[in-house]
Chains A and B, each alone.
Chain A
């Protein structure tokens, strides 16, 4: 082979390398089962803050740590999510505490409860201690087959003297009851 033509082999070899091992086609793979079972997501319609699956229900602004006998601090705009099997005749229930130590600094606070974007009520908390909120929820606000989001927005915060978090109140449990 003439010397000049030998050099043509270099780009030819590179071209061949570039064409290597590209598959032509594949058969359909194993078919996954359809995801239709809401229980797979494991959110229920009511949750205690010390339950093992509480984190599943927490969307934001609730402390990941369980304190004392099973409560959690909530921050600025705590949000929970729930899965419902029906929407008729449900009431939203929330057990919570405004501790003396925070109330002393903040004074009366307001908690706005919103369900799927609808304002259910604004709670005016005028004393410290354990409290319960309970109110019927219009069925048309709720959904089956997807998550229902509940937000409890606080208007005042308490910042611990040695901390930098804004604490709202103490949450024990929340959810929908019949």
Chain B
């Protein structure tokens, strides 16, 4: 039971601190709302403020439990002293009795279901790996450290800052409970919106449509950020609608803060900034009101929450918008080729034959796109009839704007942001016919209740399975529960036990990082990890071995520089060179310290082509384009008659020529093309690859049995110079000898 207490304390303390901050902010701005609105707006705006404060503490290396406790107590004390705990607004009129009774029953049932799962041990794929893995690391290191090996640490982490605050007290489940608090707040906001704008029944129905949606449920009880994003976006919309009616200037900074917080939560939610800015500007210009001051205040407040994340990335990674826009902000931490593949993969999930399958997949099936909204949302087109009403038009506009980023990632959970607006538009239409909305609420409740979901959805769909009171209260321990249900947890605990403190583990796919303090270098999560795996594969993959020699012979002459230029265009291959060797009279010139080596693109890895290792190679990490080059400058004129490039075959379409700079400084082409020969594979490539990894501080490898090449490591462990430490739940941990 004590663990359950800490979980609840961590989550409640975080939420209360956020509410206290929000109340102080609303009071400071002199804003008054209805009672329920005040609590909810306080929670959301206070969350933005708390996230900002935790960011500052993390930047100052003060992310410690004691500091968070002191901050929370101080904020709550100040709020109580100023009387902020007494709501200033009036209550809104209640719903009709039948709605209240039915609503209370079905909302309570789902709240209990969600609460028991939110408090249960955290085992969501992304929550237990990077969302909380990075949070746990920040707490261990008392703030931000220079993480360049995990692209997820480069994303804005506004909600993760709240997770960090809660995690310090109640660990993983406390963080998940913070997300759950947004799951509770958002339907209440939808209800409050409906009441304020004359659609109370529609507000209640839409709130339940959203709340009971299976993907919303499982996402909202996990340490994810999608429901928090939706909650923040809906609050922005709600406040804009209030501002449009009341034109209180004090709302503008609040809207600005929340718009900035959208960026801080999730890059794709940054669309809220232009949405709110254009909304404000358009309305003021149409009403012939002065707009400059309001827009400056809006922009300033938004930037307050945007700039910290931009600055963090700029300082650590040299790319303010990492892991994206690497072409415009070249850096050695995220590969341009990876960014392209990653963004493509987010648009095309394996198993989805065409976008035409999306409607059924996101509403009923749920296996391919990671969860489903529920069959009720097949009725979503009915929401278009809400265009008749002004509120309906505003809701549908917001749904279109916040849904516009969906095709950047077609996973179902990326529809959670526009879902509240769609649900409200649907509910406005459905409540025009008596009894329909209530009936659909009941149908939706049955269709979304775990045991009934199996009737129509795919078994692999991401969804809740049942209530988990024993696990929530830790009557069954976290370790016991996760050991039998979550292989990534088992793998993480095995790593924790068998890898020394400070050790790094190279892996092809993620494990539950949040449950180990060892650094897991997942091959696709950074340029460095990708290059480490490239070295490893060079030891075993035939196409990646440097057995293809390209030789440029030319009459001996004195040269200042040599440059190999790639001339082919556009193919999907990446250009690579394992070794760049220079000869004169049949003897290779030793690589002297005053040589200067250059490459474009990817200048950072040029040394890999001059280290005499057949398993390390410089790669362009961009698809072929004319003008890519590698260059060696000798420092003084040197007699040369041959250049040999040791390459791998996995670059069939690359074409190269050799240029040289003469003593006079003039450049000329020495050879238009090389003579290509195949040579036998050298001995000991596997061990050489492992030696290179050890040089880079990597001493362990973890592979799932389903990983690419897993069999190779399993059957040739000795040849690699590795020892199998053990196998757990389908993952094998190897130690380099």
- The smallest C-beta distance from B627 to any residue of chain A, in angstroms, reads 16
Chain B, 585-626, contact with A by CB distance < 8 Å: what is the 0/1 string?
000000111111110000110110011111000000000000
> 8 Å CB contacts to B: which residues of A5-54?
14, 17-18, 20-38, 40-43, 52-54
* Pair A42/B612 contact, Cβ less than 8 Å: no
Asked if B456 is at the interface of the complex by the 8 Å CB criterion, the answer is no
Which of A21, A62, A83 has most B Cβ within 10 Å? A21
User: Shortest Cβ distance from A22 into chain B, in angstroms?
Assistant: 6
B311-365 CB contacts (< 8 Å) to partner A: 314, 318, 320, 328-331
Knowing A18-B328, A26-B597, say if A32 contacts B717 (CB, 8 Å).
Answer: no
- Chain B CB within 8 A of A59 CB: yes
Does B453 make an interface contact (CB < 8 A)?
A: no
| Complex Cα spacing A27 to B632, Å | 9
Q: Is A125 an interface residue (CB 8 A)?
A: no
A29/B611 in contact, CB under 8 A: yes
Contact A35:B718 (CB < 8 A) given known A26-B597, A27-B596: no
Task: Tell me which of A21, A33, A42, A55 contacts B318 (CB under 8 A).
Answer: A21
Residue of B nearest to A43 (CB): B719
**B717 and A17 within 8 A (CB):** no
Q: Which residues 105-149 in A have Cβ within 8 Å of B in the complex?
A: 145-146
Cα–Cα distance between A17 and B325 once the two chains are bound (Å) = 12
Minimum distance in angstroms from A78 CB to a CB of chain B: 11
Q: Report how far A28 CA is from B681 CA in the complex, Å.
A: 25
Q: Find out whether the CB atom of B607 lies under 8 angstroms from the CB atom of A28.
A: yes
Most B Cβ at <10 Å: residue of A24, A26, A58: A26
Q: For the complex, give the distance between the alpha carbons of A38 and B691 in Å.
A: 16
| Interface membership of B706, Cβ < 8 A | no
**Residues in B lying within 8 Å of A, measured CB to CB:** 314, 318, 320, 328-331, 591-598, 603-604, 606-607, 610-614, 633, 680-688, 691-692, 711, 714-719
CA distance A68 to B69 in the complex (A): 61
Smallest CB-CB A-B distances: 4 pairs: A40-B684, A28-B591, A56-B718, A25-B596
Is A31's CB under 8 angstroms from B680's CB? no
A64 interface residue per 8 A CB criterion: yes
Q: State A73–B507 Cα separation when bound (angstroms).
A: 30
Q: Which chain B residues border A42 with CB–CB below 8 Å?
A: 718-719
Pick from A21, A40, A54, A64 the residue with the most CB of B within 10 Å: A40
Check A27–B687 contact: CB distance below 8 A: no
In the complex with contacts A27-B593, A27-B596, A31-B612, A40-B607 CB distance below 8 A = no
A91 contacts partner chain B, Cβ-Cβ < 8 Å: no
Contact of B714 among A18, A26, A54, A64 (CB under 8 A): A64
A60 interface residue per 8 A CB criterion: yes
Cβ-neighbour of A35 out of B320, B331, B595, B688 (below 8 A) = B688
Do A32 and B683 have beta carbons less than 8 Å apart?
Answer: no
**Given the complex, which residues of A lie within 8 Å of B691, measured CB to CB?**
32
Q: For the complex, what is the distance from the CA of A27 to the CA of B597, rounded to whole Å? A: 6
With a CB–CB cut-off of 8 A, which chain A residues contact B688?
32, 35, 40
Contact B595 A28 (CB under 8 A): yes
Interface positions, chain A 71-85, Cβ under 8 Å from B, are 83
Report chain B residues within 8 Å CB of A34: 612
Q: Please, could you name 28 A-B residue pairs with CB atoms under 8 Å apart, sorted by A?
A: A17-B314, A17-B329, A20-B318, A22-B330, A23-B603, A24-B598, A24-B603, A25-B597, A26-B597, A26-B598, A26-B607, A27-B595, A28-B595, A28-B607, A29-B611, A32-B612, A32-B692, A33-B612, A35-B614, A35-B683, A40-B683, A40-B684, A42-B718, A56-B717, A58-B715, A60-B715, A83-B683, A146-B680
- B-facing residues in A58-102 (Cβ within 8 Å): 58-60, 62, 64, 83
What's the Cα separation between A55 and B715 when bound, in Å? 6
User: Whose C-beta in chain B lies nearest to the C-beta of A28?
Assistant: B591
A41 touches B719 (CB 8 A): yes
CB contact under 8 A between A21 and B331, given known A29-B610, A37-B684, A55-B716: yes
Q: Is the CB of B687 within 8 A of A25?
A: no
Chain B residues in 8 Å Cβ range of A52: 718
- List 9 other contacts, CB 8 Å, given A26-B597, A62-B715: A22-B603, A24-B603, A25-B598, A26-B603, A31-B612, A34-B612, A41-B683, A55-B717, A55-B719
Q: Tell whether A41 pairs with B595 under 8 Å between CB atoms, given A17-B320, A53-B718.
A: no
Name the CB-closest residue of A to B682: A35
Q: How far is the CA of A60 from the CA of B592 in the complex (A)?
A: 44
A contact residues around B715 at 8 Å (CB): 55, 58-60, 62, 64
CA of A56 to CA of B598 in the docked complex: distance in angstroms?
A: 39
Q: B683: which of A28, A38, A59 is its contact (CB, 8 Å)?
A: A38
**Contact for A18 among B329, B593, B606, B683, CB less than 8 A:** B329
Most buried by A among B314, B714, B718: B718
Q: Which residue of A lies closest to B605 (CB)?
A: A26
From A17, A25, A58, A83, give the contact of B716 (CB < 8 A): A58
Please give the distance in Å from B295's CB to the nearest CB on chain A.
Answer: 13
B718 contacts A28, CB within 8 Å? Answer: no
What is the distance, in angstroms, from B732's C-beta to the closest C-beta of chain A? Answer: 11
Closest B residue, CB atoms, query A21: B318
Q: Quick check: A30 and B683 within 8 Å, CB to CB?
A: no
Docked complex Cα distance between A14 and B696 (Å)? 34
Cα distance, A123 to B581, chains bound together (Å): 50
* Most interface-central of A17, A54, A146 (chain B CB within 10 A): A17
